[in-house]
Structure 1
Amino acid sequence: MPIPEGFSAVTPYVFVDGTEAYLHFLQRALAAEELGRSTAPDGRIANCQMRISGATIMLAEASEAFPASRAAFYLYVEDAEAAMLRARRAGAEVIMEIGDMDYGDRQGGVRDPAGNIWWISQRLVAGPYY
């Protein structure tokens, strides 16, 4: 089964209001890299691919046919404190401060301007999740 490089069999696809501003938020908060985009005849972003820590997500401007959606993402990073500080400075709302979890992650949570939740986690132990 061919899958484009950087994608997985399941790739998050989120519809947001104000996609251009949201893309800039992801770049500032989570070091996202824009891979490419397509625009509709009216100029709105019809599809944009962003890479965050090796994973790809797709975004599009919400519309009447495809209203804004909300999602939760679990993002592994090298340094949870640094990633949380970066997200906070970019305008994310902290919903859970960083702490050590019993399943081996150092984790905190933020809500982005589009209402999505990002669980920012640093793995502290080798091996399976549980």
Structure 2
Amino acid sequence: MRVPAGFSVVTPYLFVNGADDYLGFLAAAFGAREIGCSRAPDGRIANAQIDVFGVTLMVSEASTAFEASRAAFYLYVADADAAMAQAEAAGAERIMEVADMPYGDRQGGVRDPAGTIWWISQRLTDAPYF
């Protein structure tokens, strides 16, 4: 089996309204970096690949054939409080306050402008998750 460099066997793929603005949000909120982008003849994003902390995420402009989709991501960061503040400053809505969780993560949650939920977590222990 062949998987392109930078991709995993399962790669998250989002269809969003306002894909150009959404890529800007991801860059501001999480430091996402564009890897590549192809555009439809009308200039809308047909497929963009971005790197978020070493993970490839694919984003396309929603259409009548491929409606906007929502998802939830569990994102590990070095500092949950700082990452939450950065995401909020970029336009995310806080949906859960940052707190220490019984499973060893310090975690908060935001909803981004496309409606995607990001659980922003900082691992506090080397113990297994369960």
Length-normalised TM-score, structure 1: 0.98
Counterpart in 2 of 1:65?
A: 65
Give deviations 1:70-124, integer Å, cap 9, x for gaps.
0000000011111000001011000001000111100000000000000000011
* Deviation by residue 1:33-84 (Cα, 9 ceiling, x = unmatched): 1111001111110000111111111000000000000000000001111100
Structure 1 alignment gaps of length 5 or more = none
Q: What residue is the counterpart of 1:19 in the other structure?
A: 19
Q: Which residue in the other structure is 1:93 paired with? A: 93
Aligned residues: CA RMSD: 0.7
Residue 111 of structure 1 pairs with residue 106 of structure 2: no
Count of matched residue positions in the alignment of Structure 1 and Structure 2: 130
SS of the residue 1:14 aligns to:
strand
Partner of 1:54: 54
Q: CA deviation at 1:25?
A: 0.3
TM-score, structure 2 normalization: 0.98
**Separation in structure 2 between the aligned mates of residue 23 and residue 55 of structure 1, nearest angstrom:** 15
Secondary structure, aligned partner of 1:25: helix
Pairwise CA distance, 1:127: 3.1
Hey, what's the Cα distance between the residues in 1 that align with 2:122 and 2:110?
Answer: 15
Runs of 4+ that moved beyond 4 A? none
Distance 1:101 1:88 in 2: 21
In structure 2, the gaps of 5 or more residues are: none
- What percentage of residue pairs aligned between the two structures are identical? 66
